Amino acid sequence: MDKIWNKYPEIKQELVDVLNLMKSNVKCKDKKIENSIIELIESGGKLLRPAFVLIGSKFGEYDREKSIPTAAVIEMLHMATLVHDDVIDDSKLRRGQETIQSKYGKDYAVYIGDYLFCICFKILATNASLQAIKVDSRAMSKICMGEVNQLNSRFSMNLSVKDYLSRISGKTAELFSISLYLGAAECNANTKISRELRNIGHNLGMAFQIIDDILDYEGNDESIKKSAANDLKQGIYTLPLIYAYKKDKNAFDNILAKDFYTEEEVSKIIELVKKNNGIENAKELAEKYMKKCFKGIDRLPENEYKYILRDIAEWLLLRTY
């Protein structure tokens, strides 16, 4: 668990309860699958999404019997998408550790991801309201379509800024959004507050993903805890490249007219992105979403969790990039 939660003992303990609930639900006859999932649960993720569920719940009538299972479902849904992402991207690192597909093979990784989805519905069926099941189902569909859109757009320079934003809205922001929303809604929070939290989550998720995509061009394997420039190597063109390409298409056309890049070509593309202000322009858009996020937080009713949410948002969005 990330040390950020040491600052908030109550939320930290609730996150421990979330992790324990997840572990208790992953038991199966195939111990390889069970142990693989437990390793993933214990791999040191930030636990942002379940924490957002818990924080959102504090704006309603907090009910542990609803909030802990909802938070567990959200995190396991997130884990399932990561496992499948790593298979598609052939990623070797995740959270600074070897991925499941790299360690156990793609076949097992697919089944592990599928099993995680099954556990999500098992917990929902036992603990969640019909509303939560509907919201989670829609979110799963939107996340899946975001991933499909990303797959369909690989090595294609027809992608626009609008297409990119639509893609990350499903791929990343949706889960941030429903985490805060469901936490509040399941605990009978005011409808206006629940919707405000949903919008905060959306803007936070959009800014977070844009910043993550910037770091893919500026970071390294050690600093970002995954393979640097991996999206680019997979033909996934993110905002910095899209902006730079719009500025000087001729500079990119020859090198991008391929479906595989050497390390030298990757370095060249990164150099061109920086030269054509792709990173600076991406930062400007990230900051617009950041401002919307913080303005939304400012509109929330006064309680300690409003300031915890702001503190976490600052930690995520004002990181060095």
Q: What is the mean pLDDT of the chain?
A: 88
In terms of residue numbers, what domain contains 183? 3-146+155-317
CA distance 181 to 167: 20
Residue 7 is given by DSSP the state G
Q: Of the ranges 19-28, 115-124, 305-314, which is most confident?
A: 305-314
CA distance 256 to 235: 9
Q: Per-residue pLDDT tens for 59-106? A: 999 999 999 999 999 999 999 988 888 888 777 877 777 888 888 888
- Determine what percent of the chain is predicted with pLDDT higher than 90: 53
Q: Per-residue pLDDT tens for 110-137? A: 988 899 988 988 888 887 666 666 766 7
CATH assignment of the domain containing 295: 1.10.600.10
Q: Per-residue pLDDT tens for 233-246? A: 888 899 999 999 99
- The domain tally of the chain equals 1
| Tokens representing residue 40 in the block | 């993933």
CA distance 210 to 182: 24
DSSP characters over 99-155: -HHHHH-HHHHHHHHHHHHHHHHHHHHHH--HHHHHHHHHHHHHHHHHHHHHHHTTT
C-beta atoms surrounding 117 within 10 Å: 17
CA distance 205 to 52: 12
Nearest residue to 202 (alpha-carbon basis) of 121, 301, 313: 313
| Tokens representing residue 132 in the block | 């939560």
Q: What is the pLDDT of residue 226?
A: 47
pLDDT category at 319 given cuts 50, 70, 90 is: low
